[in-house]
Amino acid sequence: MSIAAEHDRIFKALGSAVRRQMLDDLKDQPLTTGTLVAHFPELDRCTVMQHLKVLEEAGLVIAERRGRERWNHLDPLPIHAIHERWIGPHAAGATARLATLKRELERG
């Protein structure tokens, strides 16, 4: 799979507020699917599993079976890659332009 296709999957996965909340929930510790289902009382288990599948396919969640439980772990590396490719360089460029504008405005 190309880097562009990988990034498309990540952006698609991050496009849902439910999936972003799931990633926030997994930020500090892995959680079982049952625990995640309980975090979303408005969704049924099947819908939560579908969201987890999208996150897994994007490489953002790693599932681990322990007996009858499925533990979901956040994999932050794809998000870091997106940051390195898109956010960091764009933020640096914007910051430099704002600093230049500030200097020009201060000079009058």
Q: What is the CATH number of the domain that holds 88?
A: 1.10.10.10
Confidence band, pLDDT 50/70/90 cuts, at residue 101: confident
Kindly report, residue by residue over 71-94, the tens digit of the pLDDT: 999 999 999 988 888 888 888 888
Which residues, 6 or more positions from 9, have their beta carbon under 8 angstroms from its beta carbon?
57, 58, 59
Residue 16 has pLDDT above 80, yes or no: yes
Residue 23 has pLDDT above 90, yes or no: yes
Residue 99 has pLDDT above 90, yes or no: no
What is the domain extent for residue 86?
3-107
Domains of the chain: total: 1
**Pairing status of strand 61-66 against strand 69-74:** antiparallel
pLDDT: which is higher, 85 or 19: 19
